[in-house]
Structure 1
Amino acid sequence: MIQNLDSIINLDKSKASSLILSKKTSNSIPIINATGDQIYCPQTSIKIVTDVSIMDADDSSIDSVFIQISTGYNIAQDLLSLSGAHPTIISNWNQNRGLLILSSSTPGNQVPYIEFINAIKDVEYTNISLKPTGNRSFSISLDKLGYLPSNKHYYEFVPKNEIPWDLAVVAAEARTYFGIKGYLVTILSPDEQQLAAEQLDGEGWIGGSDVELEGRWKWMTGPEKGLAFFSNLESTPIAGFFISKPRSTGANLIYANWNRSTKYWYDGIPIYEPNNLRDTDGFDEDYAHITVPGIGTRGTWNDLNNLGSTKAPHKPVGYIVEYGGMPGDPLIQIATSTVLTIPQITEITENSRCGTGTIGLGAKSNLGIIQWYDQETGGIVLGTCEIFITPTISSTTTYYIETKYPFCAKSSTRTPVVATILNIPVITTPNSKFSLCGEGFLTLSAATTEGTIYWYSEPTGSSLFAVGTSLTRFFSSSTTLYIEAVNDYCTTGARIPVEVVVYDLPVFEDLEIIKCKAEEVTLSSTLNGIDYLWSTGEKTTTIKTLIPGFYNVAVTKPAPESCTLIQNITVIERPIPIIKNVLVDENTVTINLTNPANFYEYSIDGSYFQSSSIFTNAPSGLHTAIVRDTKSCSSASQQFVVIIIPKFFTPNEDNYNDYWEIKGLLNYPDAEVIIFDRYGKILKQLYATSLGWNGKLDGNELPATDYWFVFKIDKTSPEIRGHFSLKR
């Protein structure tokens, strides 16, 4: 559990001044001054001061002195060390902090100021790189707090396990450093970021928050209170409501250093800090915190809720206090600083040209003169200038530069500057004319020695419509296109025409040839050409065949068209018609085939042929159904009888329809007809030779009503049943 606010403030006040001074009897603050802003020559060591002084009205000795590379520190290259003989003083180099601590060689004893002064004068800086960059500032302090020379502020990490952000704000503001007011740190520059977030012994809360407006981050502490420094907000469909946009890198309004390495992904897009996601406890992450080592880049920021996490790595373990910049702060000189400027190339300008010639290259440095070479080491100086014009060159050449400072015996490793020769492209396509047989799609191709092919519809202007070595396009008529090759910004010059000729093709149709079975037919194309190639492999103008099926012939037209046209020919062999049955309904006759087709024609008794298989008003009697194909290749026939069964009769002795009889019955000698009344009583039997029924039974007239019959053509045929009406 965290302590209450009063206990936190009281405990911190007891530690607010961390100056390690014993035997002090007054509040006098020592003053230290140093000189020694110098030039650092690469591949050397240099003492960081030329002189130093310490004034203290109360004391003449101290426990320790703290010397830190406070600006530009490179953990992999920089080193501070104590040279010379200083028996009362030992040195301890903290590589992570870039901090050299000078202290008494006898624990518990103090060392006179004069001996520390002599030791400070023997502190040397070394950079192991052959080409160091940037400048270095050194803070020399009589206290352990970090000191940033650029703003003259002091920085301190205060360990406090599980302290919430809001209490850290209050606790930081309760602290003072020799009268200078403290506040939760605000980080405004890369130099301040490196010292306050990366070179202190601890990670914790800093003064940023977006609690006022989600996604709009402000500094909430110190002299920058209310200053917006970062934004990743976006509006929502609800008016006046905003959310953060964690899938965006956001915008630095002044300076920010959020953790950009993330293991979280959403829809294939990484979620960056500050992600403002609700944590597992349901709280918004509205407060800025320095990440612990191993979470992203060292010293980067993360957003947490006010309480932080209860588990590592986001468990609050303290906060960072900044001293300086508040109204009424006293001026103290407990720390001083010096600067080393490193001669270096600060800017290079590479260049290129098309083809052989000279190229202008550029470079700038912060100190000294720039020397140009054509070798990485050794060689002669080609020029000492910021703008260097190369001799005539025909291929890409690398030149090398170094900053030569008069007082430096050695220079840094030379920096390469490339003069690029771009080859002028040459279009090597041998074919500048393409032909197409009729409208359609055509693929055009072009080749170049360098770069990319660009296709235009006009010889000049911005009529670009395709890029690449090939182009597929629909052409309906002859046209001219233009190509140009571009290698970077080097071109072939005038565009080269590419002609597309579209030849008109004759209009033709596929052919269909009808043949009879075993008939040989001759196949020929309606197209004229100079070459013929049949699907059978024959190359004559015509071919003969007995076999039905599909054939085609490729006919090649003469030059310049040389177009090959393909005509399809279908040979159809008509089958012999097969009569399935002949259906007779009174005097309507329908001839049905097993293999019906539209090329068959039909007839009754051969007197007249028609395309329809249905005949009406057929007379009673024995007939012959005939089917043949329209080419008269084959035919089929079948006899049938038309029998007409009347629906009624009127036996009134007017000699019209006085008898009920089945016409055509004479053609069936074994035929028999039995007539019944509705009760099944047999009234009359008729045979092939019978005259018919006159509607009487035993000479008596029967009433007008419906009567039934059973008709059999012969003993083996099925019965035909029906009824008819007797009308009087």
Structure 2
Amino acid sequence: MKTINYLKITTIAFALSLTQSYAVEKTTIKNKNIIVNSNDTLKSNKKQHSRLNFAITPPVVKATGDQLYCPQNTIKIVTDFTITHDPAETGTKAVYIQISSGYSSGFDQLMLSNPASHPNVTTSWDATAGKLSITSPTGADVLYADLVNAVKDVVFTNPSASASGTKTFSITIGNANYLPSTQHFYLFVPSIGITWTSAKAAAEASTYYGLKGYLATILSQDEAQLIGEQASGTGWIGGSDAETEGVWKWVTGPEAGTVMTYTFWNSGEPNNLGDEDYAHITQPGVGIRGSWNDLSNTGSLTPGDAYQPKGYVVEYGGMPGESPLEIAASTKITIPVATPGANPNPVCDSGTFTFTATATAGATISWYDAAVGGNVLGTGNTYTTPTITSTTTYYVDAGCASNRKSVTATVNTTPANPIAGQSTYSNCGPGSVTITASSNIGIINWFTASSGGTSIFTGTSFTTPTISTNTTYYAEASNSGCVNPNRAAVNIEIYTPPVVNDETVALCQNQTVTLDAGVSGMRYLWSNGATTQTTVVSQGGTYTVDVTSPSPENCTSRKTVVVEEHEVPEIDRIDVNGTRAIIYLKKETSYFEFSVDGVNFQDSNVFYEVPGGLQTAYAREKSGCGGDTQNFVVLVFPPFFTPNNDSYNDLWEVTGMENYPQAEVTIFDRYGKLVAQLNASKMSWDGTFEKTPLPASDYWYALKIDNTKPVLRGHFTLKR
């Protein structure tokens, strides 16, 4: 299994090409003395055979130089560099230096600092792969001594002030990419249209300085970035779900048979179609750079198509029994960054502050009084300020001014005593009152007590809830937690407004009426302009008077007086039915009242059990504007009489008949015989006919008052 160091974020790879054999398919790899063609047996001349049989020990590359780096500067990538080699080998074709992890494309760059001092080498920078090649300008081998001197003068630079992290540089002999976190080598072999199975066989047939090859297995982000993003893999890798659809495993190298735990599939992949069982790094421009697709064994057969295989990625290292090669070395640079802790809590008026910060390992933290330049105030993970009286900004870095961070010591000023807009407010009757207070700084909090308690409102203007008694509120000034304990009292006095009652008064026709505010000792203002307690009006309508109490209250209440013009009633007629009488007026209104005795008046114009005889009907206006009277007669016909000379009901007579001189009453027995006749000269009947007592029985009568009125008929009983 691979040994992966996830703490190594950036790697730069140096590759030196040496005599090496490769077995690949549909491509040719040409080294110094050997040519291998796909599916061919090894072809060589005698010199080549003699070289193959000559035991050459692989070189050993050593490098030192774990350093701190400040962006926008240049730094040599090594502090020392050596290549120990077989005396039979004095040089090689090239050395490759790669930023193998933490590479920032477009910003990071490697270059030879003084090319004029190295006439025997030339350099080429691949910005996509983050790789610097050092070769001979003539194509011949470069002496190891010249390569060592050149590597010592290779520098790194990044022009961005915001650059951060760790960059790891890999120095490798051979054109394979070396990744320090795995100590493995990776080589992309171009082969247009190669199938996955052929690529797997070709990879396993190749070796690299004695390391057995296999289709690459990718177990970490470092590997994915180096193989797919930096090296433009665009080819087959060792993953497949051919065994169980949807279960992706590594089927090559030391990880063969293990389920993938790290994956970098392109968006929507894998789609797990039946025949798309093999993993392939996407072509640049397809989806996420360096991500994977699943393809069939052949991939697309259309020449030039984005999903036509372009080659495969071979990985070397980690197979059972293999020892790590020492043909590669690595160094790293770390951009030191100071990370300040949280700003200390603010203080009121003055105080000291202690700041803390952590930094990249190996870096020294320094504290400054300016964002650029300035004075060093202290060093170390903590810094305590002197006593300060105002908010002050300090700065901290870990050796790189471009990464300097700011920290702030906040000093808040305690406000002066709050000032109330008014010491006393008043309100006429219960209600809300808007009171105000101000401070030279900060905010105003309102309380119901002179100390302690909980704020009930925040703001310079406070509208109280409805209050009905004298109340005091207290304004407190506060500025970001700095509180002035001296609260300003604001008093509210509740005054009682004058008590008035609305009225409705009557105004008699063609008369005047005096309106009264009803409260003495006040100021008055009537709607007709009068300013006295009373005012005289001669017309109906609605009148108002504002009644204001004396200072300091000055509370005003408004009284409304509705003046109704009332007419004098006129009786039109009185209808009498038995003892019920109804008084009708020429114009009916609600403010008239009625009576039939001149003493007891009522709203109803209907009267019952009116005594018989001549009566008087009364109608008047209720408030005394006047009235009208009219006489009427109530005729009462006794329902029976008892002519037994006991002085009770001995005679039958019509009460009220005396008011009609022309009236006549005729009385009949049950058979219709006329038995008596009454008129103005004879007003009663004693129950006899021709002086003979008639028997007890029912008798009928007919009353004719005059020719203008109907005849009234009825019956009564004679009892013996």
Scaled by the length of structure 2, the TM-score of the pair is 0.59
1:523/1:543 contact within 8 Å kept = yes
Letter paired with 1:45: T
2:524/2:531 contact within 8 Å kept = yes
Residue 708 of structure 2 corresponds to which residue in structure 1?
Answer: 667
1:280-321 Cα distance to aligned partner (Å, 9 max, x none): x9xxxxx9x9999899xx87999x9999xx9xxxx9999999
Q: Secondary structure at the match of 2:420?
A: coil
- Distance of 1:491 and 1:627 partners within structure 2: 80
Letter paired with 1:353: V
Q: Secondary structure at the match of 1:444?
A: strand
Matched, 1:420 2:410: yes
2:232/2:290 contact within 8 Å kept = no
- Distance of 2:516 and 2:256 partners within structure 1: 101
Q: Secondary structure at the match of 2:132?
A: strand
Residue 434 of structure 2 corresponds to which residue in structure 1?
Answer: 443
Residue 132 of structure 2 corresponds to which residue in structure 1?
Answer: 100
Question: What's the CA shift for 1:438?
Answer: 3.1
- Distance of 1:586 and 1:45 partners within structure 2: 131
| Corresponding residue pairs, total | 577
Q: Secondary structure at the match of 1:441?
A: coil
In structure 2, which of residues 483, 486, 492 is the aligned counterpart of residue 491 of structure 1? 483
Label 1:43 to 1:517 Cα distance change in 2 as closer, same or farther (>3 A).
same
Residue 602 of structure 2 corresponds to which residue in structure 1?
Answer: 610
Residue 513 of structure 1 corresponds to which residue in structure 2?
Answer: 505
Label 1:257 to 1:423 Cα distance change in 2 as closer, same or farther (>3 A).
farther
In structure 1, which of residues 468, 482, 496 is the aligned counterpart of residue 459 of structure 2? 468
Question: What's the CA shift for 1:180?
Answer: 7.7
Matched, 1:398 2:393: yes
Matched, 1:431 2:427: no
The answer to which of 535-544 and 577-586 deviates more is 577-586
Label 1:134 to 1:586 Cα distance change in 2 as closer, same or farther (>3 A).
same
1:574/1:629 contact within 8 Å kept = no
Letter paired with 1:38: Q
Q: Secondary structure at the match of 1:667?
A: coil
Question: What's the CA shift for 1:48?
Answer: 0.7
1:456-493 Cα distance to aligned partner (Å, 9 max, x none): 34455563333333333232444444443332222223
Matches within 5 A, 1:61-460: 65-75=95-105, 77-83=107-113, 84-85=115-116, 90-95=122-127, 97-102=129-134, 115-129=146-160, 133-142=164-173, 148-150=179-181, 152=183, 178-179=211-212, 185=218, 187=220, 199=230, 201=232, 330=322, 332-333=324-325, 335-347=328-340, 350-351=343-344, 352-366=346-360, 369-377=364-372, 380-384=375-379, 386-401=381-396, 403=398, 412=402, 415-426=405-416, 427-460=418-451
1:2-42 Cα distance to aligned partner (Å, 9 max, x none): xxxxxxxxxxx967999985655699987644222223356
Letter paired with 1:69: I
Letter paired with 2:410: T
Letter paired with 1:653: G
Label 1:173 to 1:621 Cα distance change in 2 as closer, same or farther (>3 A).
farther
Residue 679 of structure 1 corresponds to which residue in structure 2?
Answer: none
Question: What's the CA shift for 1:124?
Answer: 0.9
1:172/1:321 contact within 8 Å kept = no
Label 1:556 to 1:174 Cα distance change in 2 as closer, same or farther (>3 A).
farther
- Distance of 2:410 and 2:624 partners within structure 1: 87
Letter paired with 2:168: S
Question: What's the CA shift for 1:630?
Answer: 0.9
Letter paired with 1:338: T
Residue 69 of structure 2 corresponds to which residue in structure 1?
Answer: 40
Identity of aligned residues (%): 33
Q: Secondary structure at the match of 1:120?
A: helix
- Distance of 1:382 and 1:504 partners within structure 2: 69
1:577/1:595 contact within 8 Å kept = no
Scaled by the length of structure 1, the TM-score of the pair is 0.59
Label 1:145 to 1:462 Cα distance change in 2 as closer, same or farther (>3 A).
farther
Residue 685 of structure 2 corresponds to which residue in structure 1?
Answer: none
Letter paired with 2:80: D
- Distance of 2:516 and 2:283 partners within structure 1: 89
Letter paired with 2:708: N
Question: What's the CA shift for 1:144?
Answer: 6.7
2:473/2:489 contact within 8 Å kept = yes
In structure 2, which of residues 540, 551, 558 is the aligned counterpart of residue 567 of structure 1? 558
Label 1:74 to 1:305 Cα distance change in 2 as closer, same or farther (>3 A).
closer
Letter paired with 1:79: Q
- Distance of 1:305 and 1:577 partners within structure 2: 111
Label 1:391 to 1:604 Cα distance change in 2 as closer, same or farther (>3 A).
same
Q: Secondary structure at the match of 2:390?
A: coil
- Distance of 1:193 and 1:81 partners within structure 2: 25
1:132/1:344 contact within 8 Å kept = no
1:620/1:664 contact within 8 Å kept = no
Label 1:290 to 1:461 Cα distance change in 2 as closer, same or farther (>3 A).
farther
Residue 682 of structure 1 corresponds to which residue in structure 2?
Answer: none
Larger radius of gyration: 2
- Distance of 1:402 and 1:581 partners within structure 2: 114
- Distance of 1:414 and 1:353 partners within structure 2: 25
Matched, 1:653 2:689: no
- Distance of 1:115 and 1:452 partners within structure 2: 74
Label 1:54 to 1:591 Cα distance change in 2 as closer, same or farther (>3 A).
farther
1:328-366 Cα distance to aligned partner (Å, 9 max, x none): 595534643211234443326644432245544455544
Question: What's the CA shift for 1:45?
Answer: 1.5
Letter paired with 2:108: D
Gaps of 5+ in 1: 1-12, 162-166, 209-217, 230-255, 260-273, 282-286, 405-409, 669-687, 695-728
Gaps of 5+ in 2: 1-22, 35-51, 240-246, 274-278, 301-305, 637-667, 675-697, 716-720
1:603-639 Cα distance to aligned partner (Å, 9 max, x none): 5797864212445578999999875431133668999
- Distance of 1:220 and 1:665 partners within structure 2: 135
1:536-582 Cα distance to aligned partner (Å, 9 max, x none): 5554444443344444444444455x251313222221343899998
Label 1:39 to 1:534 Cα distance change in 2 as closer, same or farther (>3 A).
same
Residue 9 of structure 2 corresponds to which residue in structure 1?
Answer: none
1:345/1:365 contact within 8 Å kept = yes
1:458/1:482 contact within 8 Å kept = yes
Residue 10 of structure 2 corresponds to which residue in structure 1?
Answer: none
Label 1:631 to 1:580 Cα distance change in 2 as closer, same or farther (>3 A).
closer
- Distance of 2:219 and 2:486 partners within structure 1: 61
- Distance of 2:494 and 2:337 partners within structure 1: 66
The answer to which of 591-600 and 95-104 deviates more is 591-600
Letter paired with 2:167: R
- Distance of 1:613 and 1:322 partners within structure 2: 123
